[in-house]
Amino acid sequence: MKRYFAAAILFALLAAQSEARPYQEMFPGRADFTDAEKPLLEKLDFQQGVIKLPDAKATLNVPADFYYLSPADAMTVLVDIWGNPRTAAEGTMGMIFPAKYAPTDIEAWGSTVEYSADGYVSDADAATTNYDELLQNIKDSIRENNVEREKQGFPKITLVGWASAPHYDTSAHAMHWARDLMFGDDTKPQHTLNYSVRVLGREGVFQFNFIAGLDQLKEIEGVIPTVTKLVQFDKGKAYTDYVEGDKIAAYGMAGMIAAGAGAKIAAKVGLLALALAFFKKAGILVVIVLGGALRLAKGLFKRNKTPTA
């Protein structure tokens, strides 16, 4: 009897593992894909269910209303479909997308998935941080950086304000926030959305950085409760598994919001040199604040309206 029970459990676990699906199964009934889109979509393996991420010592549990693309497939989307330089699209653990959109759809949005093993981030300041003051500090840092950015030929950035104020989900140990940013000359304002989710673990932080337009804010806000619960850390690696003596990150919650979970930051938020990478999607610039100097000056991402073959 025990043997049958064990076999049933094993079968259930195997059945729960993700299976790659072609686009025809992922989007049944759709006959509107163009001849330019089909070869690109055929390169992709759409995955749902349990996604093992050994480097992060965690699993993504992707529900039916999302799908996951591997790092290689994410590269195909960012480079071949959305028209970005290859070097700027490296280093992700893949991407997640809402299942109602194919990556070739003009209205499609998604999030890169990354992990930063910087150590345990204390959430002690989550409830006490003055986020209005933090916002002003970030504005000042971006304004100071604009001098060098414009010398390098990049457009000036203006942080307008919070598109969604920082919120810490204590049950999921996840922080999420969104910025409303403006690029270029004030006479031709181009507002963009910078929505970030950070899920805390014992040894590091999962990073979800959304590539979307500002007009999609409400749609993204609606899925944030799902996104914050996608991550399941391996046994002993969850945030609550922390024990004294574990590696502690060099930043707290305020620093994580200011610079991105992977950034090595100064003690004062106002002294940060922000590492900014850019996406351009459907003609809209979307800035993502990512940690680490390797992200600095990687160039502009863009989202073409017409896929490139």
Low-confidence ranges of the chain (pLDDT < 70): 1-18, 84-85, 88, 186, 189, 259-309
What are the helix (H) ranges across 193-291? 217-227, 253-259
CA 30 to chain CA mean position, Å: 28
Residue 296's pLDDT is what? Answer: 28
- Provide the Cα torsion 286, 287, 293, 299; round to 10°: 40
* Per-residue confidence (pLDDT) for residue 276, from 0 to 100: 35
Residue 3, both tokens = 């043997």
The answer to whether residues 274 and 262 touch, using CB atoms and an 8 Å cutoff, is: no
> Residue 127 gets which letter from DSSP?
T
Quote the Cα angle for 255-112-51, to 5°: 115
Block residue for tokens 């100064």: 266
Phi and psi at 153, nearest 5°, equal 90, 10
CA distance 298 to 26: 32
pLDDT tens digits, residue range 125-164?
A: 898 999 999 898 888 888 888 888 788 877 788 889 999 9
Q: What is the pLDDT of residue 18?
A: 62
Torsion of CA 37, 195, 269, 121, to 10 degrees: -100
- How much of the chain is in helix, strand and coil states, percent to nearest 5? 30, 30, 40
| pLDDT value at residue 255 | 87
Q: Are 252 and 121 in contact (CB under 8 A)?
A: yes
